[in-house]
C-alpha cells in the first residue's frame, strides 16, 4: 500500500467519525489530515438525519473504488508534499451530484501531484440530491468555503495565497467551474473571519466537466439532482457556469474525450469559448477516445492517457510547477 493510500485511509476514517482539525487553527498541516469546512453543522444541514458514508464498489482488493454519500459534515483531506512548492489544489471529484468518487478522481490525482510539490486537498462536498435546505447551493457553499479556508491558512500551511487552484471532474467540474465564475455570489451568511478571505481560485483544471444546465447541453442526471425535476429557465441559467464567465474568471486547463456519451463535450467547448471571448487564458484538449470518467487515465490506451503531461506543461507555463 503506497503512502497516499495509507494517508487516505486515515483521513477517511476521520471524516466518517466526524473528526477533523479545527478550521480556525493556523497550525502546521499534517499529511492525511481531515479538515472540517464549517464550525459545527454546515449551513442548511442542521437537521440532516444522515452521516458521511463510504461504500467500496470494487471487488479487487488491490484497486479501491470508494464513494462517499450522505454527507452532512463536509471536509477536506489534505496531502502535503515533502517539499511544498507553494501551489495548492482543491479537488472536487465527480459523481453526478449523487456521490463523491474518492479514489479515481481524488486520491489518485493526489498521488500524481504530490511528488511535484503541490499541496492537495480532496474535497468531500455535500450533495444537492440529499436532504439539505437550499439544495442548489450546498455544493457551491462548500466549494467557496474550501477556497477561503485554504487561503486563510496559506501562510501556516506553506502555500502561496496567489497559487491556489480548484480542479473538478464531471459534476465536480461543474462545482469547480461554478466556484471559478461565482466566487462572489453570496450563497451563505459569513460565519467567521475565514469568510473574509477571497473564494476566487487562481486557476482551474476541469476534467470532462458538466458546465451547462441549459436543455441542449446539460447532463440530465446531474441537472435533475441539482435543480429538481422541472427547473425554470431562470434556474437553469443561474446554474450554467459558462454564462457567468467574465474577464476576472481564472485561467483554465480543460480536457475531455470526443466519444464521451455521458457529458457532451460541448460543455467543455462552451466554457472554453466563453473564456476566449473574455480574454481569459485557457487550454482545451479534446481527445479522440477516452469516454467518460477516465480519471488520471492510467487504464487508457488512447492519447487521452497523456492529459496529465499536457496539464503539467500548462502548469509550468503558469509558474505553478517547477
Q: What is the pLDDT of residues 25-55, one digit of tens each?
A: 557 888 889 999 999 899 888 888 788 889 9
Task: Provide the pLDDT for residue 12.
Answer: 56
3-state class (DSSP) for residue 84: coil
Domain parsing of the chain, residue ranges: 3-317
Residue 269: name the closest of 256, 250, 288 by CA. 256
Task: Provide the pLDDT for residue 20.
Answer: 58
pLDDT in tens, 277-310: 999 999 999 999 999 989 888 777 788 889 999 9
- What is the rounded distance in angstroms from the CA atom of residue 136 to the CA atom of residue 125? 13
Residue 253 above 80 pLDDT?
Answer: yes
- What is the rounded distance in angstroms from the CA atom of residue 164 to the CA atom of residue 46? 30
Kind and range of the H or E element at 226? helix 220-227
Residue 212 above 80 pLDDT?
Answer: yes
Least confident of 25-34, 111-120, 133-142, 239-248: 25-34
Which grid cell sits at 98? 449523487
- What is the rounded distance in angstroms from the CA atom of residue 236 to the CA atom of residue 61? 41
Domain spanning 3-317, CATH architecture: 3-Layer(aba) Sandwich (3.40)
Task: Provide the pLDDT for residue 108.
Answer: 94
Task: Provide the pLDDT for residue 17.
Answer: 47
Task: Provide the pLDDT for residue 141.
Answer: 97
Average pLDDT of the chain is 91
Could you tell me the pLDDT band of residue 21, with boundaries at 50, 70 and 90?
Answer: low
pLDDT in tens, 58-117: 788 778 889 899 999 999 999 999 999 999 999 999 999 999 999 999 999 999 999 999
Amino acid at each position: 500500500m503506497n503512502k497516499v493510500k495509507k494517508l487516505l485511509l486515515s483521513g477517511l476514517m476521520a471524516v466518517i467519525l466526524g473528526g477533523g482539525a479545527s478550521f480556525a487553527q493556523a497550525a502546521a498541516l499534517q499529511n492525511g489530515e481531515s479538515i472540517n469546512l464549517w464550525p459545527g453543522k454546515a449551513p442548511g444541514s442542521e437537521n440532516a438525519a444522515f452521516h458521511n458514508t463510504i461504500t467500496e464498489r470494487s471487488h479487487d482488493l488491490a484497486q479501491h473504488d470508494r464513494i462517499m454519500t450522505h454527507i452532512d459534515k463536509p471536509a477536506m483531506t489534505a496531502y502535503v508534499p515533502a517539499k511544498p512548492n507553494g501551489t495548492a489544489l482543491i479537488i472536487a471529484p465527480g459523481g453526478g451530484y449523487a456521490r463523491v468518487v474518492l479514489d479515481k478522481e481524488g486520491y489518485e490525482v493526489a498521488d500524481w501531484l504530490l511528488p511535484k510539490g503541490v499541496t492537495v486537498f480532496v474535497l468531500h462536498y455535500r450533495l444537492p440530491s440529499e436532504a439539505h435546505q437550499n439544495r442548489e447551493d450546498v455544493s457551491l457553499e462548500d466549494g467557496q468555503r474550501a477556497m477561503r479556508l485554504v487561503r486563510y491558512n496559506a501562510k501556516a500551511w506553506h502555500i502561496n495565497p496567489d497559487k491556489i487552484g480548484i480542479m473538478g471532474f464531471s459534476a465536480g467540474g461543474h462545482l469547480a467551474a461554478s466556484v471559478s465564475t461565482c466566487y462572489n455570489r453570496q450563497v451563505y451568511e459569513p460565519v467567521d473571519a475565514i469568510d473574509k478571505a477571497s473564494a476566487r481560485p487562481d486557476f482551474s483544471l476541469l476534467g470532462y466537466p458538466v458546465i451547462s444546465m441549459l436543455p441542449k447541453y446539460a447532463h440530465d442526471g446531474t441537472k435533475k439532482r441539482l435543480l429538481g425535476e422541472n427547473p425554470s429557465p431562470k434556474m437553469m441559467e443561474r446554474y450554467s457556469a459558462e454564462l457567468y464567465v467574465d474577464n476576472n474568471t481564472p485561467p483554465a486547463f480543460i480536457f475531455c474525450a470526443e466519444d464521451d456519451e455521458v457529458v457532451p463535450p460541448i460543455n467543455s467547448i462552451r466554457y472554453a469559448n466563453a473564456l476566449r471571448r473574455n480574454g481569459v487564458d485557457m487550454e482545451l484538449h479534446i481527445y479522440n477516445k477516452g469516454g467518460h470518467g477516465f480519471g488520471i487515465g492510467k487504464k487508457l490506451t488512447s492519447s487521452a492517457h497523456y492529459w496529465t503531461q499536457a496539464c503539467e506543461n500548462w502548469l509550468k507555463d503558469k509558474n505553478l510547477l517547477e
